[in-house]
Amino acid sequence: MFKHFSWKPARNIVSIVLSLALLAGCGGNGGESGAGDAVLNVDIMSVYYTPEPPGEDNVIVEEIGKRTNTKLNITWVSPNNYGDKVNVTLASGDIPDLMLLDNAFTAQVRMMVQQGAFWDLTPYIQDYPNLMKYPEEAWINTKQADGKNYGIPRVRPVDGGSFLYIRKDWLDKLGLEVPKTTDELYTVLKAFVEQDPDGNGKADTIGYAGYVDQSSMGTLNSLQNAFVQNNGDWKLVDGKLVNVNLLPEMKDALQWLNKAYKEKLLPEDLATLKNSQAKDMLKAGRAGGFQDTVEAAWEPTEELRKTDPKADFEPLVSLNGYVNRDAGFFGMFAIPKTVPEEKMKKLLELMDYGASEEGSDLANYGLKDVHYTEENGIKVPTEQAKTDIVAQQALGQIFLKYDKYLRAYRSGMPDDVLERNKKIIDERAKISVPDPAAGLYSETSTRVGNELQKSIQDMKTKIILGKLPVSEWDNFVHELKSNPDLLKMTEEINAAYQQRTAGIQ
């Protein structure tokens, strides 16, 4: 079967033809035509983040097809309207063999799961060794309400996710240590604002390029999490999930942020600032900290080093002993029940091949010495890779092995930064805290959760900006505790949590 097939460079055409013939003999065609050696046609819908999607004649798409005895017919959709495309496709009933559900827990997906629209993969996935290398969280957190898996996770690392990073060269210049607590961080950000860390003689630096939006804490989220010691809206307290906004630590977070805003450690326009504008502040050397994945800290560092070789943004390991652990997935690939069982198994074999070392490297990096060269174990893309659209942002969204250091490296990053990032990820892994409510379903939350979230965020923003006194938060929490929608959501979320942890099917 192709999941055990190891491909070698094409020096011996006869051996390749014989190998492919053997593959075809065991691969079958999923019941499509009855011919034992037929190529398996596979329709896939996925997202791309490259400027243009790979074409039908893409060299790597064809190469994967050769190695797996398949013909991949991929519908590429822009991330700008992927969610809309998913909704329309699901509603049409004409669902491709493998379809990326960017949000595995929409009301539409949940309803279709209940109606039996997708294959329950739970009894099958243990037969595919590379898929079983995905972290346990990836499979647990993609379970539906009945405790079963109806999709293959689009796997992501559980550590190295979005958290704070800070100007290490500014710390060194001012004789300060890397902060480990929110109190130490406050001292650092104040020094960044008041002690001219860039040495230009002007009071033009901001401590932290934070911003909020209408429904979330944006890049202030990690700071909030460090106080409430939780990632997400629900924290496990004495065996029950409690909304984090009801915790006393949330008020502590808002007081800290309000004080930081008053003392101009945060941008004055944080309620309207956009992500791109915040990043521009970092790249211009105006801000000393931000929130993003570990490897993303290299983006502003690389830009600053064009004029300042010592510039360095270093990701923090934790704050107040806390760092979040991610869910291990970003959407999932579902297989509709219209696909025959035999073909469904072949699709799992295909995805298992894509999760292997060989399949993942082929999809993400292409052919060695054509699309990449290897230097000290690091794959460096060539210009041909750009021409052929070979990237993790394209085929790598479908086929990807699990790599806990995926968020350690970016192209052009020097070895010392890469090794430091790996150590930071290892240190985070020792203490990182998962979101206990990831993937849990509440009907009330689906119905009114967004509006409630906006009202909560509106109150937080007003308090941070000083438009309302911090004492108003106490009154707001008192009202929240008796809010019928939040009470119902709490009841439903806890029921879903108990069902999942008890393993009820």
323: enclosing H helix or E strand: none
Least confident of 48-52, 226-230, 255-259: 48-52
The tally of domains found in the chain comes to: 2
Same structural domain for residues 98 and 225?
no
pLDDT value at 25 more than 80? no
What residues pair up with 242 in beta bridges, in sequence order? 235
Which of the listed residues 310, 325, 340 is the one where a domain comes to its end?
A: 325
* Strand 324-325 to 433-434 pairing: parallel
Q: Are residues 151 and 187 in the same domain?
A: no
- pLDDT of 3 reads 39
3-state secondary structure 8-76: CCCCCHHHHHHHHHHHHHHHCCCCCCCCCCCCEEEEEEEECCCCCCCCCCCHHHHHHHHHHCEEEEEEE
Domain that holds residue 221: 163-325
| pLDDT band, residue 36 (cuts 50/70/90) | low
**The pLDDT of residue 465 is above 50:** yes
d(CA 469, CA 473): 8
Tokens of 417: 């930064």
Task: Report the predicted TM-score, pTM, of the whole model to 2 decimal places.
Answer: 0.82
Q: Are 350 and 30 in contact (CB under 8 A)?
A: no
Q: Is residue 116 part of a domain?
A: yes
E strands, 121-229, in order: 152-155, 163-167
Regarding whether 366 and 343 lie in a shared domain, the answer is yes
Average pLDDT of the segment spanning 293-304: 96
Average pLDDT, the chain: 91
- The pLDDT of residue 70: 97
Which ranges in 148-220 belong to alpha helices (H)?
Answer: 168-174, 182-194
| Cβ partners under 8 Å of residue 186, min gap 6 | 256, 259, 260, 265
Residue 148 has pLDDT above 70, yes or no: yes
Give me the sign of the Cα torsion angle 421, 423, 425, 428.
negative
φ, ψ for residue 110, nearest 5 deg: -60, -40
CA pair distance 384, 428, nearest whole angstrom: 36
- Token pair for 452: 């409630």
pLDDT tens sequence across 366-389: 999 999 998 877 888 999 999 999
Residue type, 46: S
pLDDT interval class at 222 (50, 70, 90): very high
Which of 374, 397, 420 delimits the end of a domain?
A: 397
Q: Is residue 188 part of a domain?
A: yes
Average pLDDT over residues 248-254: 98
Summarize the chain as % helix, strand, coil (round to 5): 45, 15, 40
CA distance 494 to 477: 20
* C-alpha dihedral sign at 4, 8, 10, 16: negative
Residues 101 and 203 in one domain: no
**Where does 284-354 show beta strands of DSSP type E?**
289-292, 313-315, 324-325, 329-334
**pLDDT for 147:** 86
pLDDT bracket for residue 439 (50, 70, 90): confident
CATH number, residue 9: 3.40.190.10
- Kindly state whether residue 442 falls inside one of the protein's structural domains: no
3 state DSSP class of 343: helix
Please check whether residue 311 is in contact with residue 305, taking contact to mean a CB–CB distance below 8 angstroms: yes
Task: Give percent of the chain above pLDDT 90.
Answer: 83
- Give yes or no: residues 31 and 150 share one domain: yes
pLDDT score of 34: 41
Same domain, 172 and 319: yes
How far apart (Å, rounded) are the C-alpha atoms in residues 199 and 307? 14
**Nearest alpha-carbon partner for 299 in 281, 316, 283:** 283
H/E segment holding residue 236: strand 234-237
Encode pLDDT of 485-504 as tens digits.
999 999 999 999 988 887 54
Is the backbone of residue 313 left (phi > 0), alpha (psi -120 to 50) or beta? beta
Mean pLDDT of all residues in 440-448: 90
Q: How confident is the model at residue 428 (pLDDT cuts 50, 70, 90)?
A: very high
Q: What value does the mean pLDDT take over residues 134-141?
A: 93
The long-range contacts involving 419-427, CB below 8 angstroms and separated by at least 24 positions, are 420/314, 421/160, 421/294, 421/295, 421/315, 424/160, 424/294, 424/315, 424/317, 425/157, 425/159, 425/160, 425/294, 427/317, 427/318
Task: Using the structure block, give the residue that is written with the tokens 């949590």.
Answer: 497
Is the pLDDT assigned to residue 20 strictly greater than 50? no
Q: Which of 457, 386, 348, 308 is nearest to 58 (CA)?
A: 386
Decide which of 270, 296, 325 is a domain's last residue. Answer: 325
